[in-house]
Structure 1
Amino acid sequence: MARIVRFHEFGGPEVLQIDDVPVGEPGAGEVRVRVGAFGLNRVETLYRSGQFGPVTFPARIGYEMAGTVDAVGTGVTQWRAGDRVAALFGQSMEDYGTHGEQVLYPADLLVPVPRSITLEQAAASWMQYGTAYALVEVAHISAGQFVVINAASSSVGLAAIQIALREGAVPIAITRGRDKASALAELGATHVIVSDEEDVPARIMAITNGQGAQVAFDAVGGEPLSALLTAMAPQGIVIIYGMLAGYQCTLALPPLMLANLTLRGFSADLLVRDAASRHRLADYVGSGLADGTLIPVIDRCFSLDDIVEAHRHLESNRQIGKIVVTV
């Protein structure tokens, strides 16, 4: 038996509880992992509240974790007991929810944890760096390019800042409130725009000397997206990976057409479905974690027993970086 986070009805953080659940032996192609830590992700709040559709109760939850292999199933040759591993994302939480003391997971969707980092750091890495890796795999950013990153204080936003810097690009961070601006500058953003106080397109144009940004990594969507298009350089690309400002927007087509812009929707699980792109992602992020060019930012650690409080903190929007739960 293992202590596993589950919910028996939809609702707020208070519906989460820790149940004793038999985990069983790994099946063919699976590994059993003793979890050391897991990160929280906003999609889990949507899943828990019923916005992902029906689930079978009681339901497991969780996209991320890092820990130590304690058993392998038939056909698994790349892992053995004692290996430190982290989970790649995109699996069904109902089938492979990761929040608990012990989990089963597909062997092909695990990556090694570098010796130079802790399991807590590993648990705070793969979802955010894997998502922000779109800047490399999709946008093909290069040295000297201006990269606009909104929702910049999120774990993905901070990962995008670090990846932009690693590639020699110039990250322009956007945050809603002044209270997070100084922290973003300290964490590597070359420029910081406070959207509640400033005209975002005008500031982008001023920072880029009137040429506009070559890349935008957009977690906000909604109506602000239309304004963002007016601050893009010719043949720029806007990658939309979130909808914090709403599911719909009214687009002004002239900026899109006249500047020959690319508007690209992006879901990070695309990168793990294909073996070739999955290996490129693993090599890029793994090497960055090992050499210290990618350093996960942890906002706060909670214990497993405090899972409800951890989810409340996630929904408070006060965090800068990743919320991690230690097991």
Structure 2
Amino acid sequence: MTTTGMTTKAVLFHELGGPEVLSVEEIALPAPGPNDVRVRVEAVGLNRAETLFRSGTYYYPATLPGSRLGYEAAGVVEAVGAEVVDLAPGDPVLAAANFDFGVYGVYAERVVLPRAYLVRRPEGVDAVTGAAVWLTYFTAYGGMVLTGGLRPGDHVVITGASSGVGTAAIQTALRTGAVPIATTRGAAKREALLKAGAAHVITTDTEDLVDEVRRITGGAGADLAFDAIGGPGFARLGDALRPGGTAVLYGWLDPRPVELSMNWPLTVHAYDNGALARTAEGRRLASGFIGSGLRDGSLAPVIAETFDGLDAMPAAHRLMESNTHLGKIVVRV
């Protein structure tokens, strides 16, 4: 690896654990290779996967000591490699969240990424908004529409609805013409989810998921379930679908084995957002959907809280793990 002689501040961790293991350190900045881009990071969007990775419960392990973290950021191009012809210094960009964040982690003031790991930031989108849009809306659009086949008039059950992806999924369903049914464990977030656009909210601690979905749909069942949780509860989502419905699992917040419903016929997808984001066609379709939605106002990310500075990253992780927030957590760099 060649270096520029430049250094950058970045967030690293040398052992697994809680937010306290995160530290800001000065590290060498590699020189951009022929197909690389150096980006000055303006804002970073947090994702649940990063707290799992830091604590050692993600699906791939951190390489210790000195693991990087983070794969969603908004920034500005500072330099490009000799073979990069479609980006130039000064261009606003987004990290496309399609890489191993233990290697390329964007919790940093500057980062060098391959061109394929970047997309143009939609025109007029500020850094905080930019850091909150790509992964959330790509996951919602890629999972529900491109993979799940969500159509106008469909009822979709969205679990983990108060998360950044959950609130993006509500808006994506509405923009598609579908009917979003949000689930939440307690009643505290019910009103906020209704204000965020959910047509219906089911409080799973006190209401029966299947009974409520069937009541809402006139006995037919939902057309699609979009699930961040997995585990044994995945079977209940299948029970709440119409015959021939589709369940899309995109996360595993419940680490127990996934159970399937016997409500057959049933289509089940284990959705890998990174795999779709690594395709040029996936990035093209998502960019078009997200950009047009931001322009017409139908997509507007819900920001739970914005922190200032890389030193605030442990506090931002604590908020993520508290599960008290609604929407996306962003750290301005």
77, 97, 108: which one pairs with 2:116? 108
One-letter identity of the residue aligned with 1:263:
V
In 2 relative to 1, CA 202–3 (structure 1 residues): closer, same or farther, beyond 3 Å? same
Residue in structure 2 matched with residue 189 of structure 1 by the alignment:
198
So what's the TM-score if we normalise by structure 1? 0.96
Q: RMSD in angstroms over aligned alpha carbons?
A: 1.3
Alignment partner of 1:82 is 2:90:
yes
Secondary structure at the residue paired with 1:60? Answer: coil
1:27 aligned partner: 33
What are the Cα deviations for residues 16-55 of structure 1, in whole angstroms up to 9, with x where unaligned? 0100112132112110000000011111112112233250
Distance in 1 separating the partners of 2:200 and 2:137: 21
Q: Does the C-alpha gap of structure 1 residues 54 and 322 become closer, same or farther in structure 2, counting only changes over 3 Å?
A: closer
Letter in 1 for 2:293: G
Q: Distance in 2 between matches of 1:18 and 1:283?
A: 36
Note if 1:161 corresponds to 2:178.
no
The offset of 1:252, in angstroms, is 4.2
* Whole-angstrom CA distance in 2 between matches of 1:41 and 1:248: 22
Equivalent AA in structure 2 for residue 87 of structure 1: A
Letter in 1 for 2:134: W
Matched ranges for 1:198-217 at <5 A? 198-217=207-226
Kindly report which structure 2 residues correspond to 1:16-95, keeping only aligned pairs within 5 A, or say none.
16-51=22-57, 52-95=60-103
Task: Check the 8 A contact 2:9/2:108 in 1, yes or no.
Answer: yes
2:281 is the counterpart of 1:276 = yes
- 2:316 is the alignment partner of 1:310: yes
Among 186, 202, 220, the alignment partner of 2:229 is 220
Ranges in structure 2 where 5+ consecutive residues have no aligned partner: 1-6
Aligned to 1:246: 255
1:274 alignment partner AA: T
Deviation at 1:136, TM superposition (A): 1.2
Give the aligned partner of residue 170 of structure 1: 179
Distance 2:261 2:157 in 1: 19
Amino acid at match of 1:101: E
* Cα gap change, 1:252 to 1:190, in 2 (>3 Å): closer
Q: How far did 1:71 drift?
A: 0.5
Structure 2 residue aligned with 1:99: 107
* Higher mean C-alpha deviation, range 162-171 or range 52-61: 52-61
The one-letter code of the counterpart of 1:49 is S
Q: Is the 8 A contact 2:53 2:62 kept in 1?
A: no
Q: Counterparts of 1:54 and 1:298 in 2: how far apart (Å)?
A: 28
TM-score computed with the length of structure 2 as normaliser? 0.94
Identity across the alignment (%): 45
Query: 2:23 & 2:97 partners in 1: Cα distance?
Result: 23
List, as ranges, runs of 4+ consecutive aligned residues in structure 1 with deviation greater than 6 Å: none
Please say if residues 14 and 21 of structure 2, whose CA atoms lie closer than 8 Å, have aligned partners that are also in contact: yes
Mapped partners of 1:5, 1:143: distance in 2: 43
> 2:12 corresponds to which residue?
6
